[in-house]
Amino acid sequence: MVMVAHSTRELAALTPQDIRRAIRAGQWRGLTAGLAAGFAQANLVIVPRALAYDFLLFCHRNPKPCPLLEVLDAGDPEPRDVAPGADIRTDIPRYRIYRQGLLVDEVDNITAYWRDDLVSFLLGCSFTFEHPLREAGIGIRHIDLGVNVPMFITNRPCKVAGVFHGPMVVSMRPIPYEQVVRAVQITSRFPAVHGAPVHVGEPLTLGIGDVQQPDFGDAVPVAAGEVPVFWACGVTPQAVVMQVKPELAITHAPGHMFITDRRDNELAVL
Amino acid sequence: MVMVAHSTRELAALTPQDIRRAIRAGQWRGLTAGLAAGFAQANLVIVPRALAYDFLLFCHRNPKPCPLLEVLDAGDPEPRDVAPGADIRTDIPRYRIYRQGLLVDEVDNITAYWRDDLVSFLLGCSFTFEHPLREAGIGIRHIDLGVNVPMFITNRPCKVAGVFHGPMVVSMRPIPYEQVVRAVQITSRFPAVHGAPVHVGEPLTLGIGDVQQPDFGDAVPVAAGEVPVFWACGVTPQAVVMQVKPELAITHAPGHMFITDRRDNELAVL
């Protein structure tokens, strides 16, 4: 059995390539937050080729919840654009296997499930904009509290594409009034990772009755002088895929992301 | 026979909806430059569904030459996002029909060619960023001279997607040295219409031996104190499609664009 020999602190100083190699060798099976600081991490959704056109079209029509970083060729496990040399089947610490929309397995590599008709979609992750927000002195409540970001199913339908449809899911971060403009500016630079907020202020306009009752993740307090700010969330595409109950779908396990070679700043539009 | 009753000046004051209605009624078959000022115009590429996944993937992988505004459902002639109520088969003044990559017909509507498996792609057009450049006092040489923009086949390969591959085509605009930074800033705001330049300065770095010998369009002079600035060009996707000789492909005729309801500024990222 392979030893899980590394600590987050040891891995944090390594390059994305070295970290992926450690993950591939079974030496790291933990969360990826804090690893390879400054490099973009990605969500993974794998579907059979028969569903790939509709899913690609869905992502194109809904770029805020589904910001595509790279779409691999059918059967090709190498993200040639964002991580040349990597292998999408082995370089993520934990995967989830879904059959007919039901979680049937959690594994640390997917070589046993791989097929020539599988198409891998890598989607941007809000880690990429949380780092520059913090560098600008804007606190991220769920990070400070060590919990998961609160997420909500909204009343905003995504644009339909073929078999895929469903509501947009958003994440919420409380921001002090005097930092809202800066938070909008900073996240606007990163359309490849959800970009600018979809809403600032009134949860009810998104159909959210109580910001203390998230549909996913953990509740975080909104203090006096703070406003809840909502960004489109990468849970949206996963929810939408599972709703059509594909015979096979594979994703990363929550918090266990794919680490790319792209620096966060390479994803900025300005 | 329907009278072609309108002048550019009369049409320029109309809304996009009214202009499309006039085009549909056969009352305008001319160029669309200058019409519906402030509203985005789009390139059209129609391919059979069998090629649509590869083409959508090609556009995703090459967003600078192929900035997608909207992809219509197979067989659906209505651009529900950028021009609800419009009909892509009748609302462009002039179309080109290609069989096996060869131009076989030029028509003012494509109802006779329409099929349930045709997928229409609307792509951003540089008209959208030329307007704010001019408003910032940056002259556009080919407009001032009343000729077509000079275009060049570069040594930069596009990223391959399925059957589609080929070099990037660029357009060139001479810009005075002291306005280059502003031109980069302004066009960076519009990634949906080719965005920031792909190169500033030395044509040879793109494999262009002589900026006075364009591959398409017309040569324009580069004066002392000016630098040639190159933007990715919408001719790229058309060239790439024709190279695979699809049994049927339909495009707008050069300069005869689809006029959308989207204001140019709605396409700006910031």
In 3D, which of A124, A110, A108 has the Cα closest to residue A26?
A: A108
In the predicted model, what is the mean pLDDT of chain A? 93
Residues B117 and A61: their CA atoms lie apart, in Å, by 20
**C-alpha pair distances (Å), A25 with each of A1, A3, A256, B74:** 11, 9, 16, 45
Q: Considering only CA atoms, which of A78, A82, A93, A110 is closest in space to residue A35?
A: A93
- Record: contact A270-B188, CB cut-off 8 A: yes
Would you call A71 and B57 a contact, using CB atoms and an 8 Å cutoff? yes
- pLDDT given for residue A179 in this prediction: 97
Average the pLDDT over B106-128 and give the result: 96
Q: Do residue A71 and residue B60 have CB atoms under 8 angstroms apart?
A: yes
Chosen for mutation from A76, A120, A165, A270 (greatest number of chain B CBs closer than 10 Å) is A270
Confidence of residue A50 (pLDDT cuts 50, 70, 90): very high
Contact between chains at A56 and B56 (C-beta distance less than 8 A): yes
Q: Which residues of B touch A61 (CB under 8 A)?
A: 71, 81
Q: pLDDT tens digits, residue range B227-260?
A: 999 999 999 999 999 999 999 999 999 889 999 9
pTM of the model: 0.90
DSSP class of residue A98 equals: E
Residues of B with a Cβ under 8 Å from any A Cβ are 52-53, 56-57, 60-61, 68, 71, 73, 81, 159, 162, 188-189, 191, 195, 269-270
Q: How far is CA A154 from CA A39, A198, A207, A217, in A?
A: 30, 11, 6, 15
Determine, for residues A60 and B71 on separate chains, whether the beta-carbon distance falls below 8 Å.
yes
Mean pLDDT, residues A204-226 taken together = 96
Mean pLDDT of A137-146: 94
A149, A173 Cβ separation under 8 angstroms: yes
- B44 pLDDT more than 90: yes
A51: nearest CA in chain B? B53
The CB density around residue B265, as the number of other CB atoms within 10 Å, is: 13
For residues B232 and B215, what is the distance between their CA atoms, to the nearest angstrom? 14
Closest to B161 in 3D by CA, of B233, B99, B244: B244
Calculate ∠ Cα B152-B155-B156, nearest 5°: 100
Chain B: residue whose CA lies nearest to A50 = B53
Give the whole-angstrom CA distance, residue B72 versus residue B258.
Answer: 14
Nearest to A142 by CA among A220, A223, A203: A220
User: Which domains, ranges and CATH numbers included, belong to chain B?
Assistant: 40-125+238-267 (3.40.1640.10), 127-237 (3.30.2040.10)
User: Can you state the angle between helices A235-243 and A49-61, rounded to 10 degrees?
Assistant: 140
Looking at the complex, report in whole angstroms how far the Cα of residue A96 sits from the nearest Cα belonging to chain B: 25
| Residue whose tokens read 């589904």 | A66
CB contact under 8 A, B60 and A56: yes
Q: Write the residue in B60, B188, B269 that is nearest to A188 by C-beta.
A: B269
pLDDT over 70 at A118, yes or no: yes
pLDDT tens digit sequence for B156-207: 999 999 999 999 999 999 999 999 999 999 999 998 888 999 999 999 999 9
Q: Which of A57, A81, A269 sits opposite B71 (nearest CB)?
A: A57
**Average pLDDT of chain B, as a whole number:** 93
Residue in B with minimal Cα distance to A52: B53
Say yes or no for a CB contact (<8 Å) between A191 and B269: yes
